[in-house]
Amino acid sequence: MESLLITNGKIVNSDSVNFMASDLFIENGIICEVGANAKNLATAQTQIIDARNMYLFPGGVDVHTHLDLPIKDFTASDSFESGTLAALHGGTTTLIDFANQTKGETAISAFEHWMKLAKNNCHIDYAFHVSLTQIDSSTEEEIIHLMKEGVTSFKTFMAYDNMRLTLEEFSTLFALSAKLGFLITLHAEVGETINENIKQLIKGQMSGPQFHHLSRPIAAEVTAIEKAINLSHKYQVPCYIVHLSSQEGLAKIAAAKKLGIPLLAETCPQYLLLDNSHYSKQTFDEAAKYILSPPLRSPADCVGLWQGLEEGTISTVATDHCPFWLKDKRRGINNFTQIPNGIPGVENRMELLFSEGVIKRNMPLSRFVQLTSSNPAKIFGLYPKKGLIARGADADLVIFDPEKKHTITYKNLHSLCDYSPYEGVNVTGKCHTIVAQGQLAVVQGQCRIQKGRGRYLPRTAGVFAI
């Protein structure tokens, strides 16, 4: 039996107040003991790690990634192999990706296809949301089948002609959510507004990447959120807004929550740390690096979203890791609508939030754990096996050095993407050792495990009062 003893680490959970040095005993991938008795369980074969002066965080849970994703003629630069390796190096030990249904395809077929892509290729544990692009007479039966397979969340779109649902389809789906108990997640942008803006911009010969963010205004996000609020209120079911980008959208969600409407919100490091000045870069490449949807907003929106984290309106920080090589971005050099949307970031989420949140903005350590691990685990039905350091939980841990300073550069990252949107950013705090399934997975930057160790995680219904 494999065992590991971690000594003298400061354990941080979502409800922690004091961070006294403590010990932790792990056996066969499970946390068996926390506290003074942990050392008594060790044997001569037990590996011992001294975590003195370091924090012990639950392994990160990133609930928004796009690996092996095809868009038009492109495929995301990270596969399940490379993307999960990058996630692991950044302290994320569980991710939830998307099984994307195409028009005319069954949701079950989509799930089976993406399961095959991930099987035997992941370094960390994984699960799937299923993205629904059509609602018809077979949808209820398919959702029931998928829920038995452990899929308890379904993504929807109000944007993209080949993906968005009609209002009638949304109503049907929200009614099914009330009946069956699954969670609806939403890409909140109104496609009709975006299409009209693109038409006018291209007509006016405004086709460079600097015009991308003008095609997808905050109003498109706010209107979509308002529609989600109305649906959640009517059917009394939660809706989880992915990649929230604006303070106006945040205000709508905060007001709805005060009225008891069960809305949940996620944001991403890019919307906290980057702004739309990047679209005014001198070269096409430098601007195209930041083409994503929703687009980057104003510095004021960044400030507003930090307040949303502090006040609790935003429940999670995910990455929307959706990387494309620069050569693929250049396909849109004459028309920004042809640039594949998305940026990398799965490896930097935890260190960025620690450095910018905990160090610079005095975010409580317990709040850091809530946003990066425990809340996503709770909302998406993985808690308490994930997102918690306690007896009986999975032994997924990050031994984190809070004083280690370094500068982000894509050349030191494990994503296959050939740039980082955070290039040159100085951060304080870095993962020292990462434990996954009870094994020393990464030690001081060196990976010790192979692909294929990641397990598919069937999920239960989540906890939405967060």
DSSP string, 316-364: EE---B----HHHHGGGTT-GGGSPP-B--TTTHHHHHIIIIIIHH---
Q: Given this model, what pLDDT does residue 146 score? A: 99
Structure tokens that stand for 107 in this block: 């949701």
**Chain position carrying tokens 């099984």:** 99
Q: Given this model, what pLDDT does residue 464 score? A: 75
Buried b (16+ CB within 10 A) or exposed e, 275-312: bbebbeeeebeebbbbbbbbbbbeeebbebbbebbeee
Asked whether the CA dihedral 253, 254, 258, 263 is positive or negative, the reply is: positive
Q: Given this model, what pLDDT does residue 463 score? A: 81
pLDDT along the chain (466 residues), means of 10: 94 92 97 97 97 98 98 95 99 99 96 98 99 98 99 98 97 99 98 98 97 98 99 98 99 98 98 98 94 99 99 99 98 97 99 99 99 99 98 99 98 99 99 98 96 98 78
Relative to beta strand 125-131, strand 92-100 is parallel
pTM of the full structure? 0.98
Helix (H, G, I), strand (E, B) or coil at 153: strand
Structural domains of the chain, with CATH: 59-379 (3.20.20.140)
